[in-house]
Amino acid sequence: MKRTSVQMIAFSCAALVLSSAALASDKDAAEARIARAMSAGPAQITAGAKIMEHDGTVLREGSNGWTCMPSMGPGMDFPMCNDPAWMEFMQAFAARKAPNPTRVGVSYMFAGDAPVNNDDPFDTTQDPGEPWVTEGPHVMVIVPNAETMLKDMTNDPNAGVPYVMFKNTPYAHIMIPIGPRATPKEK
């Protein structure tokens, strides 16, 4: 009987230690995700931003209307920080619905972005001759009436100036590079 009690106590202690370690590990993982999300934009914004996973799980509540995410989805570990207008744009994009911004929206991606077809927002296969770009640190801007407002702006990502991504689509937005593009070895 004594042996059973000792075994139960030992088992309980082991379970407590393991569950504490798991909780600490989960907390560490969440803190790492929060830090990753906060790397996407200026500290003045990220300090008060809501931190949210791409699936809507809130890691930290915010106070300034901005939302930062540690990634854009599975396999897309590129953090971003969005103002409310850009979050509406992202929701429309995810649903493949045409966004209708009524005000200027801003998004920061200080850690760079995944390879993207500059002409086709939903293309996932890089075919020869297509205008794919893997942008480094950048700021993105959406505007109301983008088709009219952005018609005279270049869509050449190699022009050395801000350019339009997804020109002539409902998802057109301004890309403002703020640092060098990473080479595949740097990512």
Reply yes or no on whether the pLDDT at 97 is more than 60.
yes
Q: Tell me what pLDDT residue 186 has.
A: 42
- Taking Cα atoms as reference points, which of 56, 59, 107, 113 lies closest to residue 81? 107
Average pLDDT value for residue range 43-57: 95
Q: Tell me what pLDDT residue 4 has.
A: 56
Q: Tell me what pLDDT residue 87 has.
A: 96
pTM: 0.81
Residue 186 lies in a domain: no
Question: Which is higher by pLDDT, 2 or 22?
Answer: 2
Residue 184 lies in a domain: no
Contacts 24+ apart (CB under 8 A), 70-77: 70/33, 70/34, 70/36, 70/37, 71/36, 72/114, 76/114, 77/36
Dump pLDDT digits (tens) for 59-74: 999 999 999 999 876 6
Number of independent structural domains in the chain: 1
Which residue is listed with tokens 């939302």? 67
Dump pLDDT digits (tens) for 126-158: 999 999 999 999 999 999 999 999 999 999 999
Residue 101 lies in a domain: yes
Q: What domain range is 27 assigned to?
A: 2-177
Residues in a beta bridge with 140: 107, 175
Residue 113 lies in a domain: yes
Reply yes or no on whether the pLDDT at 187 is more than 80.
no
Residue 44 lies in a domain: yes
Residue 187 lies in a domain: no
Q: Using 50, 70 and 90 to split pLDDT, how confident is the model at 18?
A: very low
Q: Tell me what pLDDT residue 85 has.
A: 98
Are 115 and 136 within 8 A, CB to CB? Answer: no
